[in-house]
Amino acid sequence: MRCRRTALIYSPLFGNFNYGDDHPFKLQRNRMAYDLLDAYGLLNLPNMQIHDCQPVPDDLVLTFHDPAYVSRLKEFSSADEPRADFRFGLGDAECPVFKGLYDCAALGAGATFEAVRLVEEGRVDTAFNLTGGWHHAHRAKASGFSYLNDAVVAINWLVARGRRVVYLDIDAHHGDGVQEAYYDTDQVLTISLHESGIYFYPGTGFENETGEGRGAGYSVNVPLLAHTDDAIYMKAFDEVAYPLIAAYNPDIIVTQIGADTFRTDPLTNLEITTNSYIEILQKITRFKIPWVALGGGGYDLMNTARAWTLAWGVMNDVELNPRLPPAFIDKIAAHGYQNRVLLDAPHWAEEADRILALAAVEKSIARIKKTIFPGILGNHGNAPV
């Protein structure tokens, strides 16, 4: 059997940008992940490539984003003094304005486009952009640390080429910007598993957000209560995402694989570990469908480095030593990190929390099976439920 051909999209230029010392989104996590990949010997595998990237072209950006918004992004990006325009979501604590802002966002979107292009052209089977997954950017508004929606820009290019796409989002936050882009089309099936918007940013992603017009039934959301653990998370994936992906049978899968679902992430309240994270990625590989992965969220830098290293191992069918390489331990120890292991121990939430989270997810699954499954499974063939 032919080994999967993979591409890692990485640019050292992301190290030139900074959201601010006090901002939770740290682009330094890209370098930490890259160093861990290197320490495990994952940057010189026989069937992989490393690709640099270029800023995404303006014509692709404008397939989704409003020209006035893009113009303001560019203006603020080149300004020397602080700027703000709250109509476009720019200049607050969430989406700060900094020198080179547009260059950073365009480079990230360009990396995702490079990943999609490599997969679409059949040059690789799987491509991974560490920096991608800015899923909160809207047509004319920055939101959730996101300025350009790299996934939408790249998927639009695929749709223009006649491709049908599944967008699967396992970040802790609802992929609201991507849902917005494809709410009225059946060319893209969006599936998002995320912490519930009842009390959590961005306040969207409920089961009744199912699309409209031709897109009715092609937006799928599984909101999860705080303290959802691995077993409950896998129940949501296995009973909703897996059968829908199988039935839709897309030409390409695009996934946002944020690590902010992990139980030690400082901004979220889920209790996921590396165990369910790996299991989901392994199940994606079994579809044998061309796959593009985007890094997404993650606000504990070591969690993110570990998650993306595990993801790259899965993509290349490499089993990794659960102990971190000694050279990497020495490197991170100098910065105050005490981590020694790649994998998390199995974890179950406290019983009272589990009961509430399980009841909520069972209710969501039942509703989705009633409203979504008849359309997708009926229109695209049967799949195991």
Radius of gyration of the chain (CA): 20
Token pair of 348, please? 């179950």
The answer to whether residues 36 and 307 touch, using CB atoms and an 8 Å cutoff, is: no
Q: How far apart are CA 346 and CA 175, in angstroms?
A: 27
Q: How far apart are CA 21 and CA 28, in angstroms?
A: 11
Q: Count CB atoms within 10 A of the CB of residue 33.
A: 26
- Return the axis-axis angle of helices 274-286 and 301-315, rounded to nearest 10°: 30
Indicate the DSSP class of residue 86. Answer: G
* Domains defined for the chain, CATH in brackets: 6-379 (3.40.800.20)
In the predicted structure, residue 39 carries a pLDDT above the cut 70: yes
Considering the candidates 51, 65, 136, 174, report the single residue annotated as catalytic.
Answer: 136
The answer to whether residues 261 and 302 touch, using CB atoms and an 8 Å cutoff, is: no
Q: What is the pLDDT of residues 201-248, one digit of tens each?
A: 999 999 999 999 999 999 999 999 999 999 999 999 999 999 999 999
User: What pLDDT is attached to residue 383?
Assistant: 46
Q: What is the pLDDT of residues 59-109, one digit of tens each?
A: 999 999 999 999 999 999 999 888 999 999 999 999 999 999 999 999 999
Backbone angles phi, psi at 177, to 5 degrees: -65, -35
In the predicted structure, residue 384 carries a pLDDT above the cut 90: no
Please state the pTM of the whole predicted model.
0.97
| 3-class state of residue 165 by DSSP | strand
The answer to whether residues 76 and 90 touch, using CB atoms and an 8 Å cutoff, is: yes
Q: What is the pLDDT of residues 252-288, one digit of tens each?
A: 999 999 999 999 999 999 999 999 999 999 999 999 9
Residue burial 353-374, b: 16+ Cβ < 10 Å; e: rest: bbeebbebbeebbeebeeebbe
Active site residue 138: no
